[in-house]
Structure 1
Amino acid sequence: MAKDKDRHTWREGYTTGSCAAGAAKVACLLLHGDSLPEQVEVPLPNSARLMMPIQGGESNDSVATACILKNGGDDADITHGLEIRAIVRQLSPHGIIHIRGGKGVGTVTKKGLAIDVGESAINPVPRKMINQAVREVFPEEELEIIIEVPAGEAAALRTLNPRLGIVGGISILGTSGIVRPMSEEAFKTSILPELDQAVAYGHKTIVLTPGHYGYRVATERLKVPTEAVIEMSNFVGFLLEEAAYRGIEQVILLGHIGKLIKVSGGIFHTHNRVADARSEILLAHAALAGVNFDTLAHLAEFPTTEGATLELLNLGEQNLLHHLAHLASERAQAFTIGRLSVGTIMTLLSGQPIGWDTKAREIVKEQGWVWSTEP
Structure 2
Amino acid sequence: MRYGWTTGACATAATTAAYTALLTGEFPDPVEVWLPKDRRPAFALATERLSAGSATAGVIKDAGDDPDVTHGALILATVSPGEPGSGVTFRAGEGVGTVTRPGLPLAVGEPAINPMPRRFIAEAVARVAASHGGTGDVVVEIAIPDGEEIARQTWNPRLGIVGGLSILGTTGVVVPYSCSAWIDSIRRGVDVARAMGYTHVAGATGSTSERVAAELHGLPEGALLDMGDFAGAVLKYLRRHPVPRLTLAGGFAKFSKLAAGHLDLHSKRSQVDLRLLASLAPPIGEQILAANTALHALELAQAAELPLGDLVAAKALATAADVLGPAPVEVDVLVIDRAGTIVGRAPG
TM-score after normalising by structure 2: 0.91
- Whether 1:12 and 2:7 are equivalent positions in the alignment is no
Residues 39 and 224 (structure 1), Cα distance of their counterparts in 2 relative to 1, 3 Å cut = farther
Measure how far apart 1:337 and its partner are: 1.6
Number of aligned positions between the proteins = 343
1:41-60 equivalences under 5 Å are: 41-60=32-51
1:142-181 equivalences under 5 Å are: 142-181=137-176
Partner of 2:324: 336
Residues 104 and 49 (structure 1), Cα distance of their counterparts in 2 relative to 1, 3 Å cut = same
Q: Is the 8 A contact 1:258 1:278 kept in 2?
A: no
Partner of 2:198: 203
Partner of 1:352: 341
Measure how far apart 1:192 and its partner are: 4.3
- Whether 1:326 and 2:275 are equivalent positions in the alignment is no
Percent of aligned positions that are identical: 33
Candidates 63, 74, 78, aligned match of 1:72: 63
Residues 188 and 213 (structure 1), Cα distance of their counterparts in 2 relative to 1, 3 Å cut = same
1:358-369 equivalences under 5 Å are: 358=347
Partner of 1:225: 220
Residues 229 and 261 (structure 1), Cα distance of their counterparts in 2 relative to 1, 3 Å cut = same
Measure how far apart 1:284 and its partner are: 2.9
Residues 39 and 221 (structure 1), Cα distance of their counterparts in 2 relative to 1, 3 Å cut = farther
Q: Which AA in structure 2 matches 1:250?
A: R
Residues 56 and 218 (structure 1), Cα distance of their counterparts in 2 relative to 1, 3 Å cut = farther
Q: For each residue in 1:254-313, what CA deviation from the matched residue of structure 2 results, as whole angstroms up to 9, or x when unmatched? A: 111100111112110112222214313212333xxxx24xx3221111111111111111
Measure how far apart 1:81 and its partner are: 1.2
Q: Measure, in 2, the Cα distance between the counterparts of 1:220 and 1:142.
A: 37
Partner of 2:101: 110
Q: Which AA in structure 1 matches 2:321?
A: Q
Which 10-residue stretch deviates more, 104-113 or 42-51?
A: 42-51
Residues 283 and 189 (structure 1), Cα distance of their counterparts in 2 relative to 1, 3 Å cut = same
- 2:128 partner SS: coil
Q: Which AA in structure 2 matches 1:298?
A: Q
TM-score after normalising by structure 1: 0.85
Measure how far apart 1:131 and its partner are: 0.9
Partner of 1:266: 261
Measure how far apart 1:216 and its partner are: 3.5
Q: Which AA in structure 2 matches 1:135?
A: A
Candidates 69, 92, 98, aligned match of 1:101: 92
Where do 5+ consecutive residues of structure 2 fail to align? none
- 2:65 partner SS: helix
